[in-house]
Amino acid sequence: MSIEVIGAGLPRTGTLTQKTALEMLGFTPCYHWVDVLADLGRVETWDKAMDGDVDWPSVFGESRATVDWPGGFFWRELMDAYPDAKVLLSVRNPQSWEPSFRETIWDMGHGNTMLNLLSSARALVDPQWEGYVKFVERMFWSPEGTFAGGGQTPEQLIEAMIAHEEEVKRTVPADRLLVWEVKEGWEPLCEFLGVDVPSEPLPHVNDRETFLGRVIDGALAAIAASRAQPAAA
C-alpha cells in the first residue's frame, strides 16, 4: 500500500472533514494529526523525519492518504517519495483561519491561556507529552518550521498561511494539484480523484472540538494519574 493523496493544507482548514471524506471515498486509512495524539509513541519517528531520518512506508503503514500535519509538513518530500500521488491543498478564508489556529495549536504552546497551562502541567508529569510539545514547537516555530520562528501575531500567521499556499501552488504541477475548500462539496474532490460522488452529503467534522477535547481530556487524565501515584519514600 502507498500514499495516493497528499494533504498539503495547513491545520485548521477542515482537515478532519477531509480525512473522513477521503475514507468514505475508499482512501482508507487516511493519516491525520489525531493519529499522533492517539499514539504519542509516533512522535519520535516524526521528530527523526525532520532530521531526514525517515522510511515513509513504515511511517504510514497501510495508509492510502495523509492530511493535516505532521504529514503535510513534508508535502515536498512526499511528492518525491510517491510520484503518482495527487496533492490536495485545502484552503480557508485567512481571517477565519487565524483565530481558529490561534485558539488551538498556538494556544497549546504559547500565551497565558488555560490550554497552555494544562498542556504545560501535563508535560511535567508525562514525558511523552513533553516530547510531543517540543515536536510541535519545532514543527511550527523553529527556524526550520512552518512559520520559521515567526507567526506570533495574527498578521504574521496570515502572512505565513498565504505564503505556504502560494508555494504549494507554484511547486506542484497543475495535473497533480487540487486547491479545495470543504464548502465546495464532493464534486471537485471526486472529479480530481476519479471516483464517483457519494449519495451521502459531505461530512462536516468539528476538528476544533476534537483537538481541544484530546488535549484537555488527556491533560486532566495525566494530571489525575500523577496525583494518584504514591509519593516517593
Instruction: List the beta strands (DSSP E) in the chain.
Output: 5-7, 30-31, 65-66, 86-90, 177-180
Q: What is the pLDDT of residues 91-124, one digit of tens each?
A: 999 999 999 998 888 888 887 888 888 889 989 9
Residue 150 has pLDDT above 80, yes or no: no
Over the Cα atoms of the chain, what is R_g? 18
Mean pLDDT over all residues of the chain?
91
In a domain, 98, yes or no: yes
pTM of the model as a whole: 0.89
In a domain, 43, yes or no: yes
- Reported as a pLDDT band with limits 50, 70 and 90, residue 210 is confident
In a domain, 233, yes or no: no
In a domain, 136, yes or no: yes
What is the arithmetic mean of pLDDT over 43-52?
95
Q: What share of the chain is helix, strand, coil (3-state, %, to 5)?
A: 60, 5, 35
**CATH number, residue 102:** 3.40.50.300
Q: What is the pLDDT of residues 58-103, one digit of tens each?
A: 999 999 999 999 999 999 999 999 999 999 999 999 999 999 998 8
Q: Do 188 and 178 meet the contact criterion of CB atoms below 8 Å apart?
A: yes
Residue 208 has pLDDT above 80, yes or no: no
C-alpha 13/C-alpha 165 separation (Å) is: 12
How many domains would you assign to the chain? 1
What is the arithmetic mean of pLDDT over 2-7?
97
In a domain, 87, yes or no: yes
In a domain, 91, yes or no: yes
In a domain, 201, yes or no: yes
In a domain, 9, yes or no: yes
Domain of residue 67 covers 5-228
